Amino acid sequence: MRFDNYDDIWDVKTRPHHFHVRRLQSVVESPMSGEPNHDIPILLKKILDSIKK
C-alpha cells in the first residue's frame, strides 16, 4: 500500500489523499491529511500492523 495526494483521477471522499492498494488498480480512502504531525502516527501504525501479519 502506498499513500499519495497527487493524482486526482480517483473518486474517493478523501481526494486528493488516498492509498493505492498493492497489486490492484484501485485506491481506498485515506485518513491522512498531508500534515506530518497527524500522518506519521497513522503511517507508523500501518507499518507495524503489516509487520505483525
Could you report the per-residue pLDDT of 7-50, keeping only the tens digit for each? 667 788 887 888 877 787 888 888 888 899 999 999 899 889 98
Distance CA 53, CA 40 (A): 20
Structural domain count of the chain:
1
CB atoms within 10 A of CB 43: 12
Distance CA 26, CA 53 (A): 22
Domain housing 31: 2-52
Cβ atoms of 8 and 15 within 8 Å: the answer is yes
pTM above 0.75, yes or no: no
